Amino acid sequence: AQSVAQPEDQVNVAEGNPLTVKCTYSVSGNPYLFWYVQYPNRGLQFLLKYITGDNLVKGSYGFEAEFNKSQTSFHLKKPSALVSDSALYFCAVRDYGDKLIFGTGTRLQVFP
C-alpha cells in the first residue's frame, strides 16, 4: 500500500530564514505526491504536486518541493519564511482507487 511519513510534528523557523518540511514516501509504481496546507479553522489548500518530469516542483505562495527518487523523499521548501506561513502542512500520496493518503501533518511555526 502507498504511504507517506512526516517525521516532524513541528518545525520552528525564524521569519526570513529558509524552511523545510520533510516527507518520505513508500509506493509501488510511480508516485503521485501532493502538499496541502491547512490554516487554523480552515479547509485544505493545494500547494503543489509531483506527477512526472522535473524533480523541482514550484507551487503556490513561493513554496517548492524536491522529488528525490533515491531517498524516496518529497520535502517542501521555501527560501524565506513568513509569519503568515504558520500552519499545518500535509504531505499526501495518491493511492489506487481514487484515494488520497495523508501523512500525519507537520505544524510550521514561523517566529517574527
Q: Which residues bind other proteins (CB under 8 A)?
A: 32, 34, 36, 41-46, 49, 51-52, 88, 90, 94, 96-100, 102-105, 107
Q: Parallel, antiparallel, or unpaired for β 10-14 and 106-111?
A: parallel
CB 43 to other proteins: min, Å: 4
CB 66 to other proteins: min, Å: 19
CB 52 to other proteins: min, Å: 8
109: part of which helix (H) or strand (E)?
strand 106-111
Q: Rank residues 15 and 88 by Cβ distance to other proteins and give the closer one.
A: 88
Q: Rank residues 14 and 51 by Cβ distance to other proteins and give the closer one.
A: 51
Query: What DSSP line would sit under 17-62, residue for residue?
Result: S-EEE--EEE-SSS--EEEEEE-TT--EEEEEEE-SS-SEEE-GGG
